[in-house]
Copies of this chain bind each other. A is one copy, B any other.
Amino acid sequence: MNQSAEILCIGTELLIGDIVNTNAAYLARRLAEMGIPVYHQTVVGDNPERLRAALQIAFSRAEIVITTGGLGPTYDDLSKETVASFFGRKLVMDDASLKAIRSFFARMNRPVSGNNEKQAMMPENCTIFPNPNGTAPGCAIEGDGDMEGKIAILLPGPPREMKPMFDESAAPFLERLSGQTLVSHSLHFFGIGESDLESRLHEMMTKSINPTVAPYAKTGEVLVRVTARVHKKEEAAALIDPVVEEIRASVGEFLYGIDVGDLQTALVRLCQAKGLTVAAAESCTGGMVAERITSVPGASEVFEWGVCSYSVRTKQELLGVDAGLLAEHGAVSAETAAAMASRARALSGADIAVAVTGNAGPDPSEGKPVGLVYAAVDSAWHSEVLTLNLSRRDEDARAYIRTVASSHALNLALQTARRKP
């Protein structure tokens, strides 16, 4: 269908930054999945005049307006009244909603206030959405007269009430209007910058309408979303697959996974599939590699052993790195990284061990510049040491260097797991 929707979130707490607007992101994602285009999101306070003006603007550029918030029992919750009058509808008591509100309070052993009973006053001839998680019902108002073809969907503000109401009531209501759905795949790249990747995919991104091809930068990575709009999910592959193959042909060497989430999830899943275990010895990343791996549910099958050897002494005592090697090459060196990885593999008995040593700053150490990092991998079938220069002079440099360094270590482990015969 070619109806578009606007998300209109109502609440002064959003305007003063008391809460983050997760409702807008949730609705945007769900509407995208349903193939309903959204070109605008708006936030206004609990103010009838400004809400009325916002409705005027929203319906001038969209057929469907989905509101969140302002359905509560207090005097400043005026969304229902304002939207209903915008559609020229009166509010009438809905007995089913009144019963639901009374039994909700009965379940909580609390008396029903008049304010709460007011929540059962609904716009005349609307579609009512019950609220099993709270007292405020939602509804859909289909316009008539000069509002013909316009639809307002009113949802409560609290996410734990809004999300289930959208999924259980509003989405089915919209599905009847929408003949289309979106199918989207995420291509995960590591080792190529966003602008570099974009310039290599530029022609495809501009010419590709269905599916669309859009890059998103993450710290040290790039995500490319390929999204097709179809009538049946089964039709998507025919549109998407050739585009993915074209992308693979152009920048495939940087593609580490499709719909895989992130590097650590890709690593854990591959190691689970191949029955491989991983260990980590970390200096400048200080536990970040281990933390990222163990953030993945199921990591315990893959990861048993990690050490954070932050000092030269610890590299010797805890890891058993040769003191002479440390003295000769220094803690920040390719030789030390390789030794840390091989010692970690020997001590842990893991199939693959990665190690990171470097200078995350803020100051040079051993005369090694900030951002100089060595990442090593050791296994029975492949060993490798990377020299990275991640230097960056800002107060976030340390976090950036550690994050990107740990990503390189995870990628080394992932590529090594791939090579496993």
Contacts and interface: CB of A to CB of B under 8 A. Distances in A.
Interface of A: 12-22, 24-32, 38-45, 47, 50, 53-54, 57, 61, 72-76, 104, 107-110, 113, 115-116, 132-133, 158, 160, 164, 193-196, 198-199, 202, 205-206, 214-217, 219, 225, 227, 280, 282, 284-291, 293-295, 297, 299-300, 303-311, 313-314, 318, 347-348, 361-362, 371, 389-396, 398-399, 402
Contacts of A308: 280, 287, 290, 294, 303, 305-308
A26 B16 CA distance: 9
30 contacts: A15-B32, A17-B24, A18-B216, A39-B44, A40-B54, A53-B61, A57-B57, A74-B194, A74-B198, A75-B206, A108-B390, A113-B195, A113-B199, A132-B394, A133-B394, A164-B394, A282-B287, A285-B294, A286-B290, A286-B291, A286-B306, A287-B288, A290-B291, A290-B310, A291-B291, A294-B402, A295-B398, A295-B399, A300-B310, A306-B310
A286 to B, nearest CB: 3
B24 A22 contact: no
Most B C-beta atoms less than 10 A away, residue of A110, A198, A219: A198
Which 10 A-B pairs give the minimum distances between C-beta atoms? A286-B294, A17-B29, A287-B290, A17-B28, A287-B287, A306-B308, A41-B43, A287-B291, A304-B311, A132-B394
Interface of A is mostly: mixed
B73 A194 contact: yes
A174 to B, nearest CB: 15
Nearest to A160: B396
A255 to B, nearest CB: 19
Given A195-B73, A308-B290, A308-B307, A28 B41 contact: no
A74 B15 CA distance: 30
A108 B392 contact: yes
A287 B307 CA distance: 8
A362 B297 contact: yes
B107 A392 contact: yes
How many copies of this chain? 2
Nearest to A105: B193
Contacts of A392: 104, 107-108
A289 B290 CA distance: 11
A212 B290 CA distance: 41
A305 B309 contact: yes
A311 to B, nearest CB: 4
Contact of A304 (B75, B294, B310): B310
B115 A198 contact: yes
A357 B43 CA distance: 42
Given A74-B198, A116-B195, A199-B115, A16 B29 contact: yes
A17 B30 contact: yes
B310 A307 contact: no
B108 A391 contact: yes
B286 A293 contact: yes
A396 B25 contact: no
Contact of A73 (B198, B391, B395): B198
A43 B14 CA distance: 14
Nearest to A315: B304
Contacts of A390: 108
Given A107-B371, A107-B392, 10 more contacts: A16-B32, A20-B21, A21-B25, A40-B43, A75-B206, A132-B394, A286-B290, A287-B289, A307-B318, A308-B308
Contacts of A13: 214, 216
Contacts of A280: 287, 308
Nearest to A21: B21
Contacts of A287: 280, 282, 287-291, 294, 306, 308
A45 B41 contact: no
A1 to B, nearest CB: 17
A280 to B, nearest CB: 8
Most buried by B among A110, A158, A297: A297
